[in-house]
Amino acid sequence: MKPNQLIVAITILILTTTSTLAQNEDIVSFASSTPTNEISDAEKKHLNFFIVTKRTKGKLDLATRFNVLRAKLKGVLRKKEFIAVVARNASRMSTRVEHHLKKHNAQIGTIWFDSHGQYKKGYSLFFIGKDEYSYKTINDSAISKPLEQLAPYSDNKTKFIIGSCYGGATYKRPSIDYKDTTRMNGDSLMIAIGKIFKKANIYGSESWVMTKPGLFRKKAAVGGFPGRKLFRDYCYQPAWENVGKWNFYDAGINEFKSSNPIAMDKFGNIVIRGESYVQEKDLKKDLLKNLQSLETGLYK
């Protein structure tokens, strides 16, 4: 090879190598400046759940049956966003919920636990099938395990709703025989749930959670108070004083505060009402009348 040809060949080789290195550097630089494929909580798919306790055989419970039917119907119509689960116990509930979450590669959006409260016990609680959840039981590993199974599927978009009457109550209520008072400790229950669902928002009611038409239509369908005479007993005074009041615990920032009543839209998403139930329905006079007419000896 002639000297001139050799110089040209070496020059071409140097230029080619420099160009390749520059391209590689550009690739490395691009890769380092491109964000990772992590998906934010807001971008993840979220499923909403409505958990209903299975009716006890031989026991007529129209409210529960009504909720089961309308939740199942809503689940059929909105099966990509909303799922109804009828639970015999907490373990079966968590297994079914987890199955749907895995199937849809989703996180928990709203999970509403529809349940009766038991005022006579003197503390806030809700049931998942036969299993009781309260500040007294939540630290039992057998009770907490089904919730812990679902915890990895929760994030800061998750809303955990205690749908039982008095589920988030914080007041002291008179005992049935009026001899003493007991604190309901609904806040303790909500905070304990927040320790399991570490980023979730937990909601619970100070008073009654009613069953009325329009539950999945943004209406105040869970607000109100019962009409039966026994609820005019003096021991229910704190429940009357707190009609329509809800509490909210943000587990992510450890903040507990009061909330306006909640409702659900047709997809099972939580909607916070703009006014308290009493203001919205202009019930101040009615509630005052009921409070003034409370009697002893009605609770039997």
Q: What is the mean pLDDT of the chain?
A: 83
Give the pLDDT band (50/70/90) at residue 67.
low
Q: Is the predicted pLDDT of residue 129 greater than 90, yes or no?
A: yes
Residues in the chain: 300
Q: Is the predicted pLDDT of residue 37 greater than 60, yes or no?
A: no
Residue type, 125: L
Q: Is the predicted pLDDT of residue 57 greater than 50, yes or no?
A: yes
CA distances from 208 to 96, 174, 213, 273 (A): 28, 17, 16, 16
State how many domains the chain has: 1
Residue 240 is assigned to a structural domain of this protein: no
CA distances from 284 to 232, 234, 236, 242, 288 (A): 16, 19, 17, 12, 6
* pTM of the entire predicted model: 0.81
Greater model confidence, 133 or 9: 133
Residue 19 is assigned to a structural domain of this protein: no
Residue 20 is assigned to a structural domain of this protein: no
Q: How far is CA 164 from the centre of its chain?
A: 12
Q: Is the predicted pLDDT of residue 7 greater than 90, yes or no?
A: no
Residue type, 289: K
Helix axes 141-150, 90-104, angle to 10 degrees: 10
Structure tokens that stand for 54 in this block? 């299975």
DSSP 55: P
Q: Is the predicted pLDDT of residue 13 greater than 60, yes or no?
A: no
CA distances from 3 to 9, 10, 12 (A): 10, 11, 14
Greater model confidence, 35 or 89: 89
**Residue 264, Cβ density class (10 Å: 0-12 exposed, 13-18 middle, ≥19 buried):** buried
Residue 291 is assigned to a structural domain of this protein: no
> What residues make up the domain containing 116?
46-228+245-277
Of 9-13, 23-27, 40-44, 276-280, the range with the highest mean pLDDT is 276-280
Strands (E), 115-185: 125-128, 131-134, 159-162, 172-174, 181-183
Give the pLDDT band (50/70/90) at residue 35.
very low
Residue 64 is assigned to a structural domain of this protein: yes
- Cβ proximity of 82 and 268 under 8 Å: yes
Residue 213 is assigned to a structural domain of this protein: yes
Residue 292 is assigned to a structural domain of this protein: no
**Cα 120 from Cα 127, distance rounded (Å):** 15
Residue 286 is assigned to a structural domain of this protein: no
